[in-house]
Structures are given as structure tokens and as C-alpha cells.
Amino acid sequence: MTGKMDLTREHKQFGGMNRFYTHESKACNGPMNFAVYLPPAAVGLSPSRKFPVLYWLSGLTCTEEIFMTEGQVQAYASQHEVIIIVPDTSPRRTGIPGEDDRYDLGSGASFYVDATTPKWKPHYQMDTYITQELREVVESELPIDQNQRGIFGHSMGGHGALVLGLRNPELYHSISAFAPIGAPMKAPWGILAFSEYLGTDQKAWEGYDACHLLRRVSASGNLKNLAPLLVDQGSDDEFFEKELFTEDLKSAIKETGYPGKVRGQGGYDHSYFFISSFMEEHILFHLKNFQSAAKA
């Protein structure tokens, strides 16, 4: 475990508690922030009872606070007794030249990869941070049931949820996403980020592209080990054609026979108005899969 969880503030909501923390991260070589929502039954609870947990990964430019204020998750998390964990989208104030120059690279734009290029590698280890370090920190301190763990996200964070979920089937028992970057190796956002963080060898990019990952796992015969997936995509999303490549993801799912569902939602855009409209359905999707896994 790395870094003590230092509480910076808290706000009561729907009987539960929004808490904001900072801690020192070895993976990212500096301070990292994250937010937690605890349903009422988990506030001040003895550790004898554990709760399902969902890790939310936000999109470009977001912090750990945006989802907590705009996602409208708390009412449903309170009702269904789920703990929500929301990390920041990148390290901050690292001193890397140019880290704040663009909205789609550096601060707020980690793409949830473990960087390998000399410029970004010392701090941008977000795969390791999310799947190992943060997970170990919160699950040692909070009443979390490690057998009911899911991951979900939006846009860049939807991409993150897809690839981290697919790369770590032993950790995540359910995956969902809102308007994810489904084929980042074809998307201008993804090409820029992967070139900077992972270098120019595109073979190295394939490990963080959901379409390539699905085909790789399918070819290995291990598709049955993957968690079920739900994706929602708005028909009026301004990034649909240029950046998200949802149809490529749908094709990979169909081609491999992966238990994933991509739903089109008429009239919705890329915003949190869209996300909040289907938030409860995603929470119930995860809970249903946790119950199915427990019976298996």
C-alpha cells in the first residue's frame, strides 16, 4: 500500500458522504487526488460488512470533482448501497514541459496508460495507479467487497474503463462506458496521446485499444474470462464520427462473440446530461453482473 489517505473535505448527500482525498503516489511519483461516495450504511460502519464498488474514470479535462457534481450518481449509489471511487484524470503540476499546453495531452488527459517514453514515464503511470495502487489504498481503508468490483467511465474514461477492464479480468467483474473512445488507434485524440506516451511503435498501442484487445483475447481462447460490457452512445454526440469510432467497437464485439452490448440513445449528446440520464441503468447492470458472478 502506498500513501496515507488524507481527507481534504466532505459533503453529506442523500444520507451518505462525498469525501475528497489526496495521497502520495509512488506510481505517479507525486500527489494524486481522488473522490469517494459512501452510501449511508457505509458511513462509520464496522468492517464486518462490505459493499460493492464502482471505479469511475472521467474524460478529457476533468478532475475528480466533475463527476461528483455533475454525474448525479449519489442518489442511486445511496439507494443501491454502492461505493463510488473517482480518481483524477492525470497527475498534476509535475514540471513536465508542456503538460498544461493542450486540453488533450498532459494534465487532465492521461488516457489511463502506463507511459513508456522518457518525457512522460516518470509520472504518467495511470494504468498501474488505477489498477494497483489506488485500488489497494482504498480497499484497505474502506468497507469494499473485492468480489463485487466494477469499472465504468465516459469518453477518454470510457476508453480507460474498457481497456483496464479487458486487461484485468481478474480484477473487474463488470464494465460499462458512456460514449467511449472505442478505437483510439484511429482517433486523433488517441493517436496524439499514444504517440506521446507510448512512442511511435504502433504495436505497443494495441494493448490500449479495446478493439485490438478483444481480438487478441478471442484469439487466445480466453474470451470467457472477460467481464460483461454495456456501452451507451448518444446519436447526437458531436464527437461520434471523428473521435469515438463506436461502430468499430460494435464490429469487434460481434466478430469475437464477446458478451458486450452497445446501445444507441437517440437525441443525446456527449455531455453529463446524457450520462446522468442512464446512470441508474449502469449501476443496476453492474450489480446484476456481480450477483451472476457470485452464483457461478
Catalytic residue numbers, as ranges: 155, 237, 270
CB 148 within 8 A of CB 290: yes
DSSP state, residue 27? T
> Strands, E, within 95-237: which ranges?
144-154, 174-178, 229-234
What is d(CA 178, CA 153) in angstroms, rounded to the nearest whole number? 6
Residue closest to 160 by CA, chosen among 119, 123, 116, 114: 114
Q: CA-to-CA distance for 39 and 158, rounded, in angstroms?
A: 24
Other CB atoms within a 10 A radius of the CB of residue 86 amount to: 28
Copy the grid coordinates of residue 188. 486523433
Q: Which residue has the cell 484511429?
A: 186
Reduced to 3 states (helix: H, G, I; strand: E, B; else coil), residue 100 is coil
Beta-bridge partner residues of 261: 230
Residue with cell string 454502492: 82
* Contact between residue 282 and residue 248 where contact means Cβ atoms under 8 Å apart: no
DSSP E strands, 81-193: 83-87, 144-154, 174-178
Hey, how many other C-beta atoms are within 10 angstroms of the C-beta on 18?
A: 20
The one-letter amino acid code at 14 reads: F
Q: Which string of DSSP letters, residue by residue, matches 59-73? A: -TT--TTHHHHHS--
